[in-house]
Structure 1
Amino acid sequence: MIQIKSFTFNPFGENTYVLHDETGEAVFIDPGNYEKHEHDELINYIEANGLKPVGIINTHAHIDHVLGIGLLKRKYDILFGLHAIDEPLLKAVKTYAPNYGFAGFDEPEIDHYLEEGKNYTFGSSTLHILHVPGHAPGHVAFVNHEQRFVIGGDVLFRESIGRTDLPGGDYNTLLRSIREKLFPLGDDYTVYAGHMDPTTIGFEKKHNPFLNSK
């Protein structure tokens, strides 16, 4: 069974996730740790629980979701996966990071590409990959059907949705991704988002002002 641990890091209030199961293997999703105390909090959790990190996967490549990748790759000698379409977004981070106070941004190399319809496995667990563009062109979500949850990044929030005014964003594309890719999963699926608290598909169908007006 997958255990989901969330941390809220950096000035953007980004949710970093560690997923691990009974094998002790763990995967980092969207590591946004930048300050030393954030690194320490994350690493202390790994050590306190006797976990073995085996990889890093990202929903997308905006700055608040990629700050800790380089450090974690080196520390644990693990591979990093991202959708190929978001590679230019990752490459652009180093050019604007100093403007946001992240002068020491450590740009990571991508080791493999994530693709819709493929599975990402760790330990005895499986995450199914969905391509859900709109907030970012290469944005993906990670779905576990056994436990009925989604690690959704910045697509669907509690009573809100991801921004579409950033490069590569598109409002209608985002709404289509939510309605065509996430909603069919089922009302009882929990959505662990890139910001704010978790929600469910069913709650958002009923209460999200961006999605229930049509």
Structure 2
Amino acid sequence: MIELKKFTFNPFQENTYVIWETETNETIIVDPGCSNNFEQDKLTQLISDKNLAVKYLINTHCHIDHILGNKFVKEKYKCKFYAPELDVPLLDKLIDQAKMFGFPADKSPHPDEFIIEDLILKIGNTQMEFLFTPGHTPGEYCIFFRNEKTCISGDVLFLEGIGRTDLWGGDYDTLLKSIEEKLFALPDDIVVYPGHGDKTTIGHEKLNNPFLK
């Protein structure tokens, strides 16, 4: 069994997810967007209060709003860092991305390993899979907890929306194909936790998403 806590961080209102297995407290932090001391303290307070053991740091993709806290999390928890290889150019240009928006940022560490589609990771006895879903960025992956009926969708699929494709490496047709072939192949009752906004389900998006009709 897993528990999940969402934090909404930084000027982009990005969703950072802390997910832990309840028997062992082994934990992943997905897309840490914490951009200042206040946001970092909120993250560390939860981990301390719940006595969580951070095992993995995972970036679904490497746009600035999803990686601002990479350095902090990696140094604080000494966890293994996974990110998409095709998004490394974005990761390496974090400082340049930040300058475009007029605020400071710490250079992100390099991933310890790259996400690949047949990668399977575990926290406790809970298994997570990775679905290759490019289109918003060249390398984006969604994280799928099959037994827990949970999908972390990054900026691929939102509540009645989809990710932007007008940024570097984005492609509209590729994004639609990723959603239709990978996410809409999942059962309707899968709960989707996106990188911005509220959660949804696969079934709801099949019926109501105006971009996918």
Question: What whole-Å deviation, never above 9, does each CA across 1:151-200 have from its counterpart, x for those lacking one?
Answer: 01000001110000001000000000000000011111010000000000
Q: Kindly indicate whether the alpha-carbon contact (under 8 Å) linking 1:55 and 1:78 is maintained by their aligned counterparts in 2.
A: yes
1:112 maps to a residue whose letter is E
Q: Deviations over 1:12-41 (max 9, x none)?
A: 000000010120111100000011110000
Q: Which residue of 1 aligns with 2:203?
A: 202
Match of 2:150 in 1: 149
The residue aligned with 1:135 is 136
The alpha-carbon deviation at position 149 of structure 1 amounts to 1.1
Aligned position for 1:166: 167
Equivalent positions of 1:13-162 (< 5 A) are 13-21=13-21, 22-162=23-163
Q: Give the AA of the match of 1:52.
A: A
TM (norm. structure 1) is 0.97
Identical columns (%): 47
Please name the residue that 2:10 is paired with. 10
User: Secondary structure of 1:8's partner?
Assistant: strand
CA deviation string 1:41-63 (max 9, x = no partner): 00000000011111101100000
| TM-score using structure 2 length | 0.97
Aligned mates of 1:185, 1:76 — CA distance in 2: 33
**Deviation (angstroms), 1:118:** 1.6
Q: Which runs of 5+ in 2 are unaligned?
A: none
Contact residue 83 and residue 139 of structure 1 kept, 8 A? yes
In 2, the alpha carbon distance for the partners of 1:108 and 1:102 equals 19
Distance 1:144 1:19 in 2: 11
Distance 1:99 1:105 in 2: 14
SS in 2 for 1:54: strand
- Structural RMSD (CA): 0.9
Q: Is the 8 A contact 1:97 1:105 kept in 2?
A: no
CA distance in 2, matches of 1:154, 1:130: 13
